[in-house]
C-alpha cells in the first residue's frame, strides 16, 4: 500500500529525514517509536502533504501512485488520514459542519452523492458512540477550548467518520487517561480490516497492548534504524534508546 | 487645530440657498453657520491627520448633483429588504424619501417614524437636531448640516418598546453622479427600546456620493440596536458620521457592516454621558478591487461605571485598503470604566493593505482597558488541517474567512438580517473562488 524509499526532507536548511525506508502492506499496523526530535512527526507531515517540509530525495508511492505530487486534499480523498499530534483550533467552524463538508468532499471525489442531513446525523451518532464522545462536542468549534484528551479523541472521531485506508496516528495516546486510551484504541480497532492500514507513532508500549502492531520500528536521526515485532517495543520500554543510539552512532564512525 | 483647506468644488454648495428656504429660522441659522464653517474647513485632504489615508480628491474631480425624480419601482426595492418585510420602512431614493415605496402609517402609540422635514417642529427635533454632532472640526458634518432637510426622524416615547424593526433603506442610482445629504435623528426616551436597520444600496453601476449624518440620542435606560449595512456598488462615495449620546443605564449596540463602496468613511462617535452605560461597537468590512474602507471610532467615557466593547474585523482582497482608527477617551471622572477594543484583519492578497491605529487616552486611574490590532493572512495551520481532511484549498479559505466574519455577524440579533448577510458573504467568497 505505502512504499517509502530513501526519503529525505528538510525544513529551511535543516535535514530532518535522511534516507528513510518503510513499507506498509494492506491491513498491517506499524508502530513507530523513537526519541524526541528524531523526525516522527515530520514523516507524518510529509506523508499528509504539509508544505513546510521540502522533500530533497527519495520517493513515496501509495497504491502505486506517486504520493508526493498530490495536494493534501487529494491525499485525504484517496484515503490518507493524519491524526495530528497537536490538533489545530478553528474558532467559528463547528465540528459537525466541518466534518460534513470533509465527508462530502471525499464522497464527491469518489463519485458518490453527498450524504443528506439525516444520514449524516445517523452516521455521526454511531461514530460518537464508538469513541464515547459527548453530543455537545459536535456543535462546538473545531477543537476550540477542548482539553488535550478531548482533542485527541476528536481526531479519532474524525478518523472513524472518514474511514480512511491509511491512518497515521501521531502520538494520539499522549495526554490520555487510561479510559480514554482504551476508547481511542477501540476506535482504531473497529476500523481495522484487511483493506486498512495504520501507522501508529507512540512513545509508550502501553498503547500497543490495545492496538497490537504487526511491526515496530525505531526512527532515529531521520532514519528507520531498527525494525522488529511487538517484542521490540517491550525491549525499548525496558532499556530505553541508548543502546540503539550507540549501535547507530558506532556504525557511522 | 488643523484647518488644511482643500479645493472646494462649487457643486457642493450650489444647492444651499434653495435648501435653506425650508424650516424654522433657528434651523436656517444652523445651516448658515455650518456652511460658513465648511467654507473654512474645506474638503479634508490627506494632510489632515484624521484623513491621512482617505483621499477625497476624486470628489473634486467630477460633479455630483441631487436627483430630481423618483423612478424606482417596488420590485427593485423588494431585493433590498434585508431585514424582511415585517418592518417599518422608509425608502430613500437618492437621499429623498419615496413615500409610495415606504410604509410607516398606523404606528403604535408613542412611536414616530417619518421624514425629518415633516417634523422640524417636534419638541425632540427642536431639542436635539444638530445639537450632538458638532461640525466645529468636522468638515463633512458641516457640509451635511448646511443641507439638513432630507432624512429620517425616529422618536420612541417613554416606556414604549418598538417591536417591529425600523428599516431606513437608502438606494441610489437611476442616473449618474447623484448627490445626497441625508440627515437622521433618533431619540429613544427613558426606558424605551427599538431596533433600527440603516441599509445602503445601488441600483446599478452608477456613481454616487452620499454625505450622511445620523444623531442617536438614548435617554436613561433606553435600549437601541442599530445596524448600518453598506452594500453599495464600487462607484459609491459614502462619507458618514454617526453620533450617539447615551444617558445613564442605557444600552447601545451598533453594527457597521461594509460590503461595498469605492471610498467609504464611517465616523462613529459615542458619548457615554451617564453611569452604568453599555456600548457595543461591532464592525465588519469585506472589500476588494481598489476600494477603501475607513472606520474612525471614538468612544468617550465621561462618567463612571460604564462598559464599552469594540470589535472590528476586516477581510481585504484585491488592491483594497482598510483603515481603522479607534479612539477611546476615559475622562477623569470615569472611574471603574471597562473599555475594550479589538481590530483584526485578514489580507487575502499581497496587494491589499491595512492601517490600524488604536488610540487610548486615559485620565482616570481605576479602569480596565485593553486594545489590540492584528493584520495577517489566514492561519496556515488551520488551512492545512482542513485540507488534510479532504476540503479543497479554496473551500478551506472560504471556510475560515466566513468563520472569521461570522464572529461579528453573530452579534446581530435580527435573524433575518443576520442570515441575509451571511448568505451574501458566502456567495461573495465562493464566487471569487
Ligand atoms: N518547522 C520547523 N522548523 C524548524 N525545525 C523543525 C520544524 N519542524 C520540525 N523541526 C525540527 O525537526 C526535528 C524533528 O521534529 P519532529 O517533530 O519530526 O520530531 P518527533 O520525532 O515527532 O519528536 P517528538 O517525539 O518530540 O514529537 C526537531 O529537531 C524539530 O525541532
Ligand atoms: Mg512528534
Q: Can you tell me which residue has the cell 485527541?
A: A152
Q: How confident is the model at residue B6, as a pLDDT?
A: 56
Of A51, A141, A158, the CB nearest to B389: A158
Residue A105 distance to chain B (closest CA, Å): 6
CB contact under 8 Å between A105 and B390, yes or no, is yes
CA distances from B127 to B30, B62, B124, B182 (A): 13, 37, 5, 19
Rounded to 5°, the CA angle B387-B403-A156 comes to 45
Answer whether A42 contacts ligand 1 (Cβ < 6 A).
yes
Element (H, E) at A148: helix A148-162
Q: How confident is the model at residue B431, as a pLDDT?
A: 59
Of B385, B391, B407, the CB nearest to A92: B407
CA distances from B352 to A183, B226, B347 (A): 48, 29, 6
**Residue ranges, chain B, pLDDT below 70:** 1-7, 431-433
C-alpha span between A3 and A23 (Å, rounded):
5
The three grid cell numbers given for residue B34, joined into one nine-digit string: 455650518
Dihedral sign computed on CA atoms, order B103, B237, B284, B419 = positive
CA distances from B420 to A52, B74, B194 (A): 39, 20, 20
Q: How confident is the model at residue B429, as a pLDDT?
A: 81
Task: Return left, alpha or beta for A130; rule: phi > 0 is left, psi -120 to 50 is alpha, else beta.
Answer: alpha
DSSP A179: H
- CA nearest B307: which of B280, B345, B344? B280
The reply to whether B430 touches chain A by the CB within 8 Å rule is no
Task: Show residues of chain A in contact with B389, CB under 8 Å.
Answer: 76, 81, 98-99, 102, 158, 162
Answer whether A136 contacts ligand 1 (Cβ < 6 A).
no
Task: Show residues of chain B in contact with A105, CB under 8 Å.
Answer: 390-392, 395
One CATH from 3.40.50.150, 3.30.230.10, 3.40.50.300, 3.60.10.10 for A2-252? 3.40.50.300
What lies within 8 Å, CB to CB, of B307 at 6+ separation is: B277, B278, B279, B337, B338, B339
Domain boundaries, chain B: 10-379
Helices (H) and strands (E) in chain B, counts: 9, 20
Q: How confident is the model at residue B433, as a pLDDT?
A: 42
**Residue ranges, chain A, pLDDT below 70:** 253
Q: How confident is the model at residue B3, as a pLDDT?
A: 44
Task: Show residues of chain B in contact with A92, CB under 8 Å.
Answer: 402-404, 406-407
Q: Where are the beta strands (DSSP E) in B74-182?
A: 88-93, 96-97, 111-115, 152-156, 166-172, 178-180
Domain boundaries, chain A: 2-252
Q: How far is CA A246 from the centre of its chain?
A: 29
CB contact under 8 Å between B390 and A71, yes or no, is no
Answer whether A222 contacts ligand 1 (Cβ < 6 A).
no
Best mutation site among B388, B425, B426 for testing chain A: the one with the most A CBs within 10 Å? B388
Amino acid at each position: 500500500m505505502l512504499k517509502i524509499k530513501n526519503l529525505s526532507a528538510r525544513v529551511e536548511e535543516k535535514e530532518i529525514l535522511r534516507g528513510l525506508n518503510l513499507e506498509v502492506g494492506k491491513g498491517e499496523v506499524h508502530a513507530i517509536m523513537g526519541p524526541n526530535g528524531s523526525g516522527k512527526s515530520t514523516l507524518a507531515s510529509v506523508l499528509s502533504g504539509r508544505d513546510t517540509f521540502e522533500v530533497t530525495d527519495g520517493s513515496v508511492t501509495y497504491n502505486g501512485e506517486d504520493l508526493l505530487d498530490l495536494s493534501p486534499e487529494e491525499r485525504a480523498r484517496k484515503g490518507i488520514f493524519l491524526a495530528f499530534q497537536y490538533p489545530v483550533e478553528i474558532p467559528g467552524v463547528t465540528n459537525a459542519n466541518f466534518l460534513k463538508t470533509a465527508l462530502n468532499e471525499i464522497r464527491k471525489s469518489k463519485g458518490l452523492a453527498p450524504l443528506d442531513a439525516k444520514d449524516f446525523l445517523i452516521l455521526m451518532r454511531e461514530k460518537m458512540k464508538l469513541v464515547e464522545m459527548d453530543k455537545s462536542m459536535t456543535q462546538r468549534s473545531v477543537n476550540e477550548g477542548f482539553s488535550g484528551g478531548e482533542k485527541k479523541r476528536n481526531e479519532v472521531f474524525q478518523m472513524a467518520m472518514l474511514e480512511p485506508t491509511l491512518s497515521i496516528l501521531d502520538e494520539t495516546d499522549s495526554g490520555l487517561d487510561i479510559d480514554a486510551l482504551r476508547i481511542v484504541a477501540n476506535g482504531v480497532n473497529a476500523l481495522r480490516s484487511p483493506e486498512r492500514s495504520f501507522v501508529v507513532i507512540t512513545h509508550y508500549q502501553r498503547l500497543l497492548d490495545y492496538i497490537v502492531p504487526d511491526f515496530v520500528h525505531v526512527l532515529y536521526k531521520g532514519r528507520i534504524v531498527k525494525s522488529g515485532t511487538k517484542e521490540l517495543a517491550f525491549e525499548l520500554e525496558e532499556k530505553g534508546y541508548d543502546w540503539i543510539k550507540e549501535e547507530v552512532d558506532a556504525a557511522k564512525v | 487645530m488643523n484647518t488644511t483647506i482643500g479645493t472646494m468644488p462649487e457643486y457642493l454648495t450650489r444647492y444651499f440657498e434653495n435648501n435653506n428656504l425650508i424650516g424654522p429660522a433657528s434651523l436656517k441659522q444652523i445651516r448658515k453657520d455650518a456652511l460658513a464653517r465648511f467654507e473654512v474647513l474645506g474638503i479634508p485632504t490627506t494632510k489632515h491627520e484624521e484623513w491621512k489615508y482617505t483621499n477625497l480628491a476624486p470628489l473634486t474631480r467630477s460633479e455630483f448633483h441631487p436627483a430630481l425624480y423618483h423612478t424606482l419601482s417596488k420590485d427593485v426595492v423588494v431585493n433590498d429588504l434585508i431585514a424582511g418585510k415585517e418592518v417599518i420602512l422608509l425608502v430613500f431614493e437618492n437621499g429623498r424619501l419615496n413615500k409610495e415605496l415606504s410604509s410607516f402609517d398606523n404606528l403604535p402609540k408613542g412611536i414616530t417614524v417619518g421624514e425629518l422635514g415633516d417634523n422640524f417642529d417636534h419638541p425632540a427635533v427642536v431639542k436635539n437636531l444638530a445639537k450632538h454632532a458638532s461640525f466645529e472640526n468636522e468638515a463633512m458634518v458641516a457640509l451635511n448640516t448646511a443641507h439638513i432637510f432630507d432624512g429620517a426622524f425616529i422618536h420612541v416615547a417613554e416606556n414604549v418598546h418598538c417591536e417591529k424593526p425600523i428599516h431606513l433603506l437608502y438606494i441610489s442610482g437611476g442616473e449618474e453622479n447623484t448627490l445626497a445629504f441625508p440627515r437622521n435623528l433618533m431619540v429613544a426616551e427613558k426606558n424605551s427600546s427599538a431596533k433600527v436597520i440603516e441599509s445602503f444600496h445601488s441600483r446599478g453601476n452608477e456613481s454616487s456620493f452620499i454625505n450622511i449624518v445620523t444623531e442617536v440620542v438614548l435617554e436613561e435606560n433606553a435600549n437601541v440596536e442599530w445596524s448600518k449595512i453598506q452594500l453599495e456598488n464600487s462607484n459609491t462615495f459614502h462619507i458618514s458620521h454617526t453620533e450617539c449620546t447615551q444617558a445613564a443605564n442605557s444600552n447601545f449596540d451598533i453594527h457597521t457592516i461594509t460590503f461595498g463602496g469605492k471610498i467609504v468613511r464611517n465616523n462613529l462617535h459615542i458619548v457615554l454621558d451617564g453611569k452604568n452605560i453599555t456600548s457595543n461597537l461591532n464592525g465588519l468590512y469585506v472589500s476588494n478591487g481598489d476600494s477603501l474602507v475607513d472606520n474612525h471610532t471614538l468612544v468617550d467615557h465621561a462618567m463612571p461605571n460604564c462598559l464599552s466593547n469594540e470589535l472590528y474585523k476586516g477581510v481585504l482582497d484585491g488592491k483594497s485598503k482598510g483603515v481603522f482608527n479607534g479612539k477611546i477617551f476615559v475622562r477623569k471622572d470615569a472611574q471603574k470604566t471597562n473599555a475594550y477594543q479589538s481590530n483584526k484583519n485578514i489580507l487575502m492578497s499581497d496587494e491589499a493593505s491595512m492601517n490600524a491605529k488604536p488610540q487610548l487616552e486615559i485620565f482616570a486611574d481605576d479602569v480596565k482597558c485593553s486594545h489590540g490590532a492584528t493584520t495577517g493572512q489566514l492561519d496556515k495551520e488551520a488551512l492545512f488541517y482542513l485540507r488534510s481532511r479532504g476540503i479543497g484549498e479554496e473551500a478551506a479559505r472560504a471556510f475560515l474567512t466566513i468563520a472569521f466574519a461570522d464572529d461579528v455577524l453573530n452579534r446581530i440579533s435580527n435573524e433575518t438580517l443576520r442570515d441575509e448577510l451571511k448568505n451574501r458573504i458566502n456567495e461573495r467568497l465562493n464566487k471569487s473562488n
